[in-house]
Chains A and B, each alone.
Chain A
Amino acid sequence: QSALTQPRSVSGSPGQSVTISCTGTSSDVGGYNYVSWYQHHPAKAPKLMIYDVTKRPSGVPDRFSGSKSGNTASLTISGLQAEDEADYYCCSYAGSYTWVFGGGTKLTVL
Chain B
Amino acid sequence: KQEVTQIPAALSVPEGENLVLNCSFTDSAIYNLQWFRQDPGKGLTSLLLIQSSQREQTSGRLNASLDKSSGRSTLYIAASQPGDSATYLCAVIAGSSNTGKLIFGQGTTLQVKP
- Tell whether A and B belong to one assembly: no
Q: Which residues does A use to contact B, with CB under 8 Å?
A: none
Q: Which residues does B use to contact A, with CB under 8 Å?
A: none
